């Protein structure tokens, strides 16, 4: 797919897709001479989305939680 199609799929601007490609966060193919036309495979978007998905927060077990010390103010 081209940048316009990728931006529509991700619901972001084309400039954002270009930035993500330039930063190496989305893999792509370049076809043609010079800088070429950017083409992004569906699997590249899937990889990006998998890495971008928030991970569930790790909550420590109750015994591992630090205990608060009570301060005695005079």
pLDDT score for 40? 97
In a domain, 68, yes or no: no
pTM of the entire structure?
0.68
Average pLDDT over residues 17-36: 92
Answer positive or negative: Cα dihedral of 48, 50, 51, 53.
Answer: positive
In a domain, 48, yes or no: yes
pLDDT score for 35? 80
Q: Are 27 and 47 in contact (CB under 8 A)?
A: yes
Average pLDDT over residues 24-47: 92
In a domain, 73, yes or no: no
SS3 30: strand
CA distance 54 to 49: 10
SS3 22: helix
If one counts the domains in the chain, the total is 1
In a domain, 15, yes or no: yes
Please give the residue range of the domain that contains residue 20: 3-52
In a domain, 17, yes or no: yes
pLDDT higher than threshold 70 for residue 72: no
Distance of CA 61 to the CA centre of its chain: 29
Please, which pLDDT band fits residue 33 given cuts at 50, 70 and 90? confident
């Amino acid at each position: 797919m081209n940048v316009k199609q990728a931006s529509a799929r991700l619901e972001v601007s084309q400039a954002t897709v270009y930035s993500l490609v330039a930063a190496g966060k989305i893999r792509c193919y370049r076809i043609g001479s010079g800088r070429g036309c950017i083409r992004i495979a569906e699997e590249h978007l899937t990889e990006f989305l998998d890495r971008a998905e928030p991970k569930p927060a790790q909550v420590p077990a109750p015994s591992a939680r630090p205990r608060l010390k009570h301060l005695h103010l005079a």
